[in-house]
Amino acid sequence: MARPLTLGLVQLTSSLDVTHNVAITSDLVRKAASDGAQLILTPEMTSCLDRDRDRALETACLEQDDPALPQFQALAHDLGITLLIGSLPIRLPLEETEGGAPKLANRSFLIGPDGAIMARYDKIHLFDVSLGNGEGYCESASYQSGDRAIVADMGAARLGLSICYDVRFAALYRALAQEGAEILTVPAAFTRTTGKAHWHVLLRARAIETGSFVAAPAQSGRHEDGRETFGHSLLISLGARY
């Protein structure tokens, strides 16, 4: 990295209330900035965590109409920090969806100190899993997978962007490292079940394999949509130490 960089990770328990989630996130980002963080990262689905397909499709907006994004852009500008919003549910224009069916993107936004969007990343690997205990998820019912890996240069460091379930696919992280990523970002909403089994070991494995730092802000706790997430936001060093 070009120079020392102080990171801040925000851990949330996002609800269905976008206004409330944005307010809580903004307060925590301001606290991290006041503590000296220059790059601050939030979890997957920062603005709204909702597993109900119909409701998610009904409430999500096109990127240009999303109510949370401009507030986060203004926040980054006000604080003079770089802000990675782990992801927002973004409605895709029908001409961009497979078969013209309504779909969302699970999209990360990297926002610069001037408030401009520096990079976007759409989650590639969607969480379609039955956990065998009556708990199951089919992210592809609502979301369309991304089709490209993204490395973003923020000046002080090069970031390799990913989201949650992506962490199980090592080839993505090798590709990001080969493109010069120094910090791998893994904003997540890991379930409590999968988190207890795999969260720590997967993140440490990605750090070891690539020789990169890993920054993983997480959702934590019991959510309004019925799921329970694992938390344990982590920053992992080149030696895979916490």
Domain boundaries, the chain: 7-236
Q: Which two tokens stand for residue 47?
A: 């603005």
pTM above 0.75, yes or no: yes
Beta pairing class for 117-122 and 213-216: unpaired
Q: Which residue has the higher pLDDT, 133 or 220?
A: 220
Which are the catalytic amino acids?
Answer: 44, 123, 164
Q: Which two tokens stand for residue 221?
A: 């706790």
The pLDDT assigned to 2 comes to 59
Give the pLDDT band of residue 238 (cuts 50, 70, 90).
confident
Chain-wide mean pLDDT for the chain? 96
Asked whether residue 88 carries a pLDDT value surpassing 80, the answer given is yes
Q: What is the mean pLDDT of residues 117-133?
A: 93
Q: What is the mean pLDDT of residues 198-223?
A: 98
Tally the C-alpha atoms within 13 A of residue 69's C-alpha that lie toward its C-beta.
Answer: 19
The pLDDT assigned to 114 comes to 99
Tally the C-alpha atoms within 13 A of residue 43's C-alpha that lie toward its C-beta.
Answer: 30
pLDDT tens-digit series, residues 46-81:
999 998 889 999 999 999 999 999 999 999 999 999
Place domain 7-236 in its CATH homologous superfamily: Carbon-nitrogen hydrolase (3.60.110.10)
DSSP string, 59-79: H-EEGGG-SSHHHHHHHHHHH
The pLDDT assigned to 234 comes to 98
The pLDDT assigned to 239 comes to 73
Q: What is the mean pLDDT of residues 172-201?
A: 97
